[in-house]
Amino acid sequence: MCVPDPQNLLGLPPFPLCKADAAPFSSGLKLSFLNLIGTAQYSPTSNPTSSDMVSFICSAAAATLAIASIAVNPSSALETGDYYRPSGDEVSGIPGTNATYHRSPCPALNTLANHGYLPRDGLNITTDVLRDAIMSVFNLDDESTQVLLDLVPSSFPLDYISTHNVLEHDASLVHTDAYFGDDPDFINATLVEDLMGRSIDGSTLGLTEVAAVRADRLAECEANNPECTFGTTQITLAYTEAAIFLLGFGGNVNESVSVEIARSFVSEERIPDSFVASTSAITLAEVETVVAELIAAASS
């Protein structure tokens, strides 16, 4: 069913869409160890004094603790821009999770955390840090970035985004509906392949393809999810995400994104080497235009 929601986050008119209405880890270990014990200079033939031995033992102990710390949290050895994606039990998108790494259903935010533009553990993200990350990596202008910042508290963990029907929503491009119980961080490989396979020319995804996927995801939600909710708030969020998928990931070129780049962002949550951000800041007017075009195409 489709549940109407009067909230309109972008100021758009309502749209009737309801059908019924580790290499860095290894080198980091090595550098940390060498930096910490490099000054000890202990040699078994040098007849060390007791103070020499104490110095060496303390340095070695410090090195051991540093190595243990990196082993527990390998991303601590990385610099901003380096890629590390947590996996397994160490990561979760469930709201309130105790996992080491907190993530969300948003591939853009997860990607920023995986590269260190946001805190890698996904905790204590401030709107100032988020603003800088979005604007520097995807080149959204201040106004369009502010619209996104207005959706979150001044400080939050990434798993906050996972709260159902707050920002996370049904009929996602690559995530299973919350009703079915998957971790919100889980990426549905079948949905990813369906999205990538929609490319008409085999190399790019454009407005037509993404709009068709959006419409199909809603139809699947209504058919299979007895709690499917897709009111005005969800419509606004879903189509704004789709617009940023095309403009932000695609570098604002012809309202399209290459399949290669799209797959890297949504499946690997990694900034691909071939990614080039928009040469001009992406404006709110541009985002709103693509949102309206996507909705019109999905409704036709």
What's the whole-number mean pLDDT along residues 237-264? Answer: 98
pLDDT of residue 59: 55
| Across 2-6, 123-127, 174-178, 244-248, least confident range | 2-6
Angle at CA of residue 218, ends 295 and 183, nearest 5°: 120
Fold annotation for 88-299: Chloroperoxidase (1.10.489)
**CA nearest to 210, candidates 246, 235, 177, 174:** 246
- What confidence tier does 8 reach under pLDDT thresholds 50, 70, 90? low
- So what's the pLDDT on residue 19? 44
Predicted confidence at residue 55, as pLDDT, reads 57
**Top-confidence residue, 163 or 51:** 163
Q: What's the whole-number mean pLDDT along residues 144-157?
A: 98
| Residue 23 pLDDT grade (very low, low, confident, very high; cuts 50, 70, 90) | very low
Percentage, residues of the chain above pLDDT 90: 74
Q: Is 96 left (phi over 0), alpha (psi -120 to 50) or beta?
A: left
Percentage with pLDDT > 70 across the chain: 75
Place of tokens 């986050």: 9
Higher pLDDT, 30 or 167: 167
Q: How does DSSP assign 136-154, residue by residue?
A: HHH-B-HHHHHHHHTTS-S
Per-residue confidence at 77, pLDDT binned at 50, 70, 90? Answer: confident
Reading the block at residue 123, the tokens are 């905790």
The domain segmentation of the chain, as residue ranges, is 23-77, 88-299
Task: Tell me the C-alpha distance between 250 and 136, whole Å.
Answer: 15
* Tens digit of each residue's pLDDT (9 = 90 or more) over 40-59: 333 444 455 555 555 555 55
Which pLDDT band holds residue 165 (cuts at 50, 70, 90)? very high
Q: Are 247 and 240 in contact (CB under 8 A)?
A: no
Q: Measured between alpha carbons, how far is 103 from 150 in angstroms, rounded to an integer?
A: 19
Q: How far apart are CA 89 and CA 261, in angstroms?
A: 27
- Residue-level pLDDT at 193: 98
Question: CA nearest 131: which of 147, 107, 110, 114?
Answer: 147
Q: What is the pLDDT of residues 173-229, one digit of tens each?
A: 999 999 999 999 999 999 999 999 999 999 999 999 999 999 999 999 999 999 999
The residues, ordered by sequence, that sit 6+ positions from 2 with a Cβ below 8 Å of its Cβ are 17, 18, 19, 20, 21, 222, 228, 229, 230, 231
Q: State yes or no: pLDDT of 20 exceeds 60.
A: no
> What is the tens place of the pLDDT at every residue in 253-278?
999 999 999 999 999 999 999 999 99
pLDDT, mean of residues 238-244: 98
